[in-house]
């Protein structure tokens, strides 16, 4: 039996997953649960890449001017993650999430996408 649940309000499938040291609900936007199951190996690789990419994201936030501090290692320790979802379309698997801090050095959270092997900050969460 699967741990995958359907959330009618979000119109997405959901699965609990541990990312950056905390359990959270990951949403999946796809037509069917079977699509998730048939892509589970690739999805797991993407989520593992996200889980191990906290330092990379921290460096990007500094380099691209979203965070006013200068120490990526220190930022990586305080980064928060929320609203993680996976979009599965035509064999493309994109992991999206919002990240930021509440330490006063960021004006809010930013939206980030993991497409292929690269993280991309797409802008401030509005």
Residue 125 and residue 90: Cα distance in Å, rounded? 26
Alpha helices by DSSP H, listed for the chain, are 33-38, 40-52, 54-63, 72-78
Interval 23-66: pLDDT, tens: 999 999 998 999 999 999 999 999 999 999 999 999 999 999 99
Q: Considering its fold, how many domains does the chain have in total?
A: 1
pLDDT of residue 89: 80
> What is the pTM assigned to this prediction?
0.94
Supply the range of the domain harboring residue 99. Answer: 5-124
Instruction: Enumerate the β-bridge partners of residue 104.
Output: none
Half-sphere exposure (Cβ direction) of 27: Cα atoms closer than 13 Å: 13
CB 119 within 8 A of CB 53: yes
Mean pLDDT of 14-27: 96
């Amino acid at each position: 039996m699967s741990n995958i649940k359907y959330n009618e309000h979000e119109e997405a499938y959901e699965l609990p997953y541990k990312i950056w040291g905390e359990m959270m609900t990951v949403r999946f936007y796809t037509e069917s649960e079977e699509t998730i199951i048939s892509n589970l190996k690739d999805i797991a690789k993407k989520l593992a890449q996200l889980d191990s990419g906290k330092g990379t994201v921290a460096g990007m936030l500094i380099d691209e001017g979203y965070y006013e501090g200068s120490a990526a290692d220190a930022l990586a320790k305080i980064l928060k993650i929320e609203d993680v979802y996976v979009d599965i379309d035509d064999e493309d698997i994109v992991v999206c999430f919002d990240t930021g801090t509440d330490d006063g050095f960021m004006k809010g959270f930013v939206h980030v996408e993991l497409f292929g092997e690269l993280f991309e900050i797409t802008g401030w969460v509005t």
